[in-house]
């Protein structure tokens, strides 16, 4: 095959793949409230929760804190942290049988 033909085929396949990705991409975490995650029937339901830390129970070797976004819940975070009461955070959480488990927690303004 000629180089020009191969280039056209590769470009076509790449564009087709990008279009399909754009049409069918669904993010793993969508913004939700604590209430939506707790009342969800599905195990493994995930979401992004923004709120204020009401109380830090433990910071080392794991972090357990109570997050308030209008409702409150205990969140388990598998890393040590320096979170303090009244910090505003964004938590990427997954619901499991024991409660809410945070994959990532970042400070927010």
Residues 5-51 pLDDT 10s: 999 999 999 999 999 999 998 888 888 888 888 888 778 888 999 99
* Angle, alpha carbons 53-76-59 (nearest 5°): 65
Indicate the domain borders of the chain: 34-107
Q: What CATH architecture applies to the domain 34-107?
A: Beta Barrel (2.40)
Strand partners, 105: 91
Residue 43 in tokens = 């195990």
pTM confidence score: 0.76
Residues 40-87 pLDDT 10s: 877 888 899 999 999 998 878 888 999 999 889 999 999 888 888 999
């Amino acid at each position: 095959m000629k180089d020009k033909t191969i280039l056209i085929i590769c470009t076509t396949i790449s564009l087709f793949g990008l279009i399909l990705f754009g049409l069918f991409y669904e993010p793993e975490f969508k913004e939700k409230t604590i209430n939506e995650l707790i009342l969800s029937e599905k195990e493994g339901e995930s979401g992004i929760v923004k709120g204020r830390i009401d109380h830090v129970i433990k910071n080392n070797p794991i972090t357990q804190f109570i997050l308030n976004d209008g409702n409150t819940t205990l969140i388990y975070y598998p890393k040590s942290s320096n979170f303090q009461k009244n910090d505003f955070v964004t938590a990427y959480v997954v619901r499991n049988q024991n409660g809410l488990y945070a994959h990532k927690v970042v400070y927010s303004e």
